[in-house]
Amino acid sequence: MRTYEELKQLLTHIKESDYAIPSEICLDALITDMINFIGDTDAELRDELIYSTFCEWADNGCISTTQMKHVLTLCLDNDHLFYGIGENDTDSVFTRSFSSLQVALAFCLHDQSLFLTGEEILNIKDIVLCYVAKEKDFRGYVNGKGWAHAVAHIADALANISGADKAADGEFSLGREVLLQLLGAVKSLICNKDWVYIAEEDERLVSVVIGVCGNEVLSTKELINWLESFNMADKEWWNGTIPGDFNLHVNRKNFMRSLYFEFLSCKDDDFDTICLKEICEYMRGFPCTHTKILAIHT
């Protein structure tokens, strides 16, 4: 196992060599070392070297689907995605957050190579949803340590999972129930009373909704029913506790505005099963958001 200094020096050399892997290096061993330091508090090592190198290798074919599946298995375990789960304001969030980015990356590679079976996709989905329900550290940027961004990173994973429409073992569809589960995860993250998101987490979560709509399974009515559930969550925030209920209100409002303008930017034929015009019309009437939406829209 390489030390911190050895790994950083090697990955720096690889980056400076356009991510070419030296002939004398055992890639499997190097991948293991990278996973061991995946949540290091050194932002350069964690983000600019380990994560960026994985991305480059996945993009240029240096990492095989077998190796990516191994990375995925490791990152979904209790020592990575669930490491220190439930803690708040500790360094364990970096391990969880950057493990979830590997899930997002794995599904990008799956889109190209179809190395995950339908059963594996659904199992990963279940693990990720379990993680979403347990994550309590919602920080974005941490001074001196860089991006934690657990919510944004798991949003990337959820968005890529939502786009999985093929599997290694043949025809595959996430199905209505799973898509509603993904929307439920988005809602649970947005309806957060403990933290107001300030690092564009709302926009990353919007990408999950767009991915779900892109599956062309849910109807306009089903999507509107889901949107309506946010009204119920926010209905009496002004009679609730401060800052908790106000935090929820702000998160909900910012998310709805981001989603509304994302829908406006879509084309009418982007989604076969939902009517964008009807959904946008519905969203313009949302309490607490409609004034500014109408002002800009008109």
Find the largest Cα–Cα distance for the chain: 66
Confidence band, pLDDT 50/70/90 cuts, at residue 241: confident
Helix (H) or strand (E) holding 7: helix 4-16
Q: How far apart are CA 232 and CA 248, in angstroms?
A: 12
- Please provide the average confidence, as pLDDT, over all residues in the chain: 93
Inter-residue contact 32 to 38 (CB < 8 Å):
no
Query: For residue 242, what pLDDT is reported?
Result: 84
Query: For residue 200, what pLDDT is reported?
Result: 97
Confidence band, pLDDT 50/70/90 cuts, at residue 268: confident
Query: For residue 281, what pLDDT is reported?
Result: 94
Tens-place pLDDT, residues 102-158: 999 999 999 999 999 999 999 999 999 999 999 999 999 999 999 999 999 999 999
Query: For residue 245, what pLDDT is reported?
Result: 85
What residues contact residue 136 under an 8 Å CB cut-off, 6+ apart? 85, 86, 87, 88, 194
Closest Cα to residue 81, out of 96, 62, 98? 96
Query: For residue 234, what pLDDT is reported?
Result: 58
Query: For residue 135, what pLDDT is reported?
Result: 98
pTM listed for this prediction: 0.94
Query: For residue 298, what pLDDT is reported?
Result: 38
Q: How far apart are CA 110 and CA 121, in angstroms?
A: 10
Q: What is the CA radius of gyration of the chain?
A: 20
Q: What is the mean pLDDT of residues 11-38?
A: 97
Give backbone dihedrals phi and psi of 172, rounded to 5 degrees, phi first.
-150, 140
Side-chain-side CA neighbours of 64 within 13 Å: the count stands at: 5
What residues contact residue 274 under an 8 Å CB cut-off, 6+ apart? 213, 218, 219, 220, 223
What residues contact residue 91 under an 8 Å CB cut-off, 6+ apart? 39, 41, 145
Tens-place pLDDT, residues 53-86: 999 999 999 999 999 999 999 999 999 999 999 9
Using the predicted structure, report yes or no on whether residue 291 has a pLDDT greater than 50: no
Amino acid (1-letter code) at residue 31:
I
Tens-place pLDDT, residues 25-61: 999 999 999 999 999 999 999 999 999 999 999 999 9
Tens-place pLDDT, residues 162-218: 999 999 999 999 999 999 999 999 999 999 999 999 999 999 999 999 999 999 999
DSSP string of 156-223, one letter each residue: HHHHHHHT--EETTEE---HHHHHHHHHHHHHHHHS-SS----SSHHHHHHHHHHHHHHTS-S-HHHH
Q: What is the mean pLDDT of residues 236-242?
A: 68
What residues contact residue 281 under an 8 Å CB cut-off, 6+ apart? none
Distance of CA 51 to the CA centre of its chain: 15
